[in-house]
Amino acid sequence: MRAGRGELRRDEPMARHTSWRVGGPADWLYRPAGAEDLAAFLAGLDEGVPVYWAGLGSNLLVRDGGIRGVVIQPQRGLGTLEVSAQGTVTAGAGVPCAKLARTCGRHGLVGAEFFAGIPGLFGGALAMNAGAWGGETWAHVLAVETIDRLGRRRWRPREDYEVGYRSVTGPDGEWFITARLGFAAGGDPAALAERVRGLLAERAARQPMGEASCGSVFRNPTGDHAARLIEAAGLKGERLGGARVSDKHANFIINDGGATASDIEALITRVIEVVAERHGVHLEPEVRIVGEEAGDD
Catalytic residue positions, numbered: 166, 216, 286
* Dihedral sign of CA atoms 291, 250, 97, 259 in order: negative
3-state secondary structure the chain: CCCCCCEEEEEEEHHHHCCCCCCCEEEEEEECCCHHHHHHHHHCCCCCCCEEECCCCCCEEECCCCEEEEEECCCCCCCCEEECCCCCEEEECCCEHHHHHHHHHHCCCECCHHHHHCCCEHHHHHHHCCEECCEEHHHCEEEEEEEECCCCEEEEEHHHCEEECCEEECCCCEEEEEEEECCECCCCHHHHHHHHHHHHHHHHHHCCCCCECCCCCECCCCCCCHHHHHHHCCCCCCEECCEEECCCCCCCEEECCCCCHHHHHHHHHHHHHHHHHHHCCCCCECCEEECCCCCCC
Classify residue 161 by burial, with Cβ atoms within 10 Å: 0-12, 13-18, 19+: middle
Within a 13 Å sphere around the CA of 90, how many CA atoms are in the beta-carbon half? 9
Q: Which residues pair with 169 in a beta bridge?
A: 162
Measure the CA angle with vertex 247, ends 244 and 249; round to 5°.
100
